[in-house]
Every structure is written in C-alpha cells, then in structure tokens.
Amino acid sequence: MTYNLGLLIKIGDEQHIDKLQKSGLIYSKTVKYFREREIEEFELRRDKHEGAQSSIRINNLKLSVDNQELPFKFRKGRFSTFNQNIDFSHIFCLYAASEEQANGKPFVDERVASFGNTALLITNPGEFIRRVEEFSRNNFGCSYNLVKYYPDNKDYSQLTVFHKPDYYNFQREFRFHFDHITEEDLVFEIGSIEDISIKMEAAKLVGLTMEKK
C-alpha cells in the first residue's frame, strides 16, 4: 500500500523519544487504554469511542417506570459497541504530514505540539514502516494506515481501529495496529532509526514548515 507521507512525527517525553531514536523502542498500549485511561495523562488524546465497531446516534431519550416518566433529560449522545479482542490489541500512533503540506506554511496544530516536550521527525516514513513490519512479521500480526475521521451526524456499523470521530482530525494520525492480545503494554525494538530521524523541541513544531526541492 502506498501512502503520500512527507513525515511521520512522534511526540512525547524526551527520555522516550531518545529510546525510540537510538534503539527503535516501540512502546504500544492497548486500544482500551486510549479509551478509558488516557484521561489521567492527557484529555486531548482520550477518545471514549476508541476501538468502536459501531456507533449510533441517540437523541431525546426519556425513562419511564409504570408509565410514569422520570425527571431525566438526555438530548444527544452516541452509543458504541466494542470487541474485547480488539480492546486488548495494541496501537502505536504518530502524526502524519502529507506531501501536500510541503507548501512553506506551518502545518502542525498547537494542540499536537503540546503532547510532550520532545518530537522525533521520521524523515523516511516508508523505511520506518518497513522496519516495524519486518520485526512484527515473525512475532504478531501488524497492520497500519492513516486514520479516517468520521462526522458526528451519521450512524456507523462497520468501524475499525483506523476510524475516529472527526473531533480528533487535528491529530492527523497514522497508526500501527498489532494483533497481540494482552492487557500488558507491548514493547519491542526495531533497532536505531537515527539515520532516518531528527529530534527537536516539541514547542517548535508550530513553526515547522516543509517545502519541495
């Protein structure tokens, strides 16, 4: 599969970014973690619909007991269904910059830049993907894709781990999905990626530009 990627960017604490660059440390968490627990670390990254297989709109609910309506008001929301096997599979997420953004203008949303103090620019996305895929080939299933963002005004019955509500489209996410079922974090090394990456302060991402030579 071909992707029109100019850069992949990973943002986090400097110690984690250093390990990613120097030894290729991939630290992935469960789908369920991003839905339920990441609020403890960063609300902007928490998605309560993460990993949903379906998501339908619910409007103007009322509750009754013995034909007596209860004083309950619910005007708008969504009901999502989940699969436990998907919940305990793992994902590794990055920011994706497309070649169309190589127009000399800043392109990283300031909310993304606040995800950590350090950023790693992966300058050869194709090679990085190849290395992750090569390691995972003999260890567990691996798939990857750009995340597709869906609007809130429809119902959905065939969602995958590569779908998120469009509220999160500022993240411009590219993710790896590892079919390794466990409640524990999945951690492995693909070897140094110093040859295809550049480290920088995350705060400077808001001024980052790309141009075609």
pLDDT score of 158? 83
Contact (CB, 8 A) for 164 and 49: yes
Q: What percent of the chain has pLDDT over 90?
A: 54
Query: Taking residues 21-25, what's their average pLDDT?
Result: 98
Contact (CB, 8 A) for 89 and 161: yes
pLDDT surpassing 80 at residue 155: no
For the chain, what percentages of helix, strand and coil (3-state, to nearest 5) are there?
Answer: 30, 35, 35
Contact (CB, 8 A) for 146 and 168: no
Alpha helices in the chain, H assignment, sequence order: 14-23, 31-36, 84-87, 110-113, 125-137
Average pLDDT, the chain: 86
CA distance 117 to 120: 11
Tell me the whole-structure pTM to 2 decimals. Answer: 0.83
For residue 64, give the 3-state DSSP assignment: strand
pLDDT digits (tens, 9 = 90+) for 125-151: 999 999 999 999 989 999 999 999 988
pLDDT digits (tens, 9 = 90+) for 24-59: 999 999 998 888 865 544 555 566 777 677 777 777
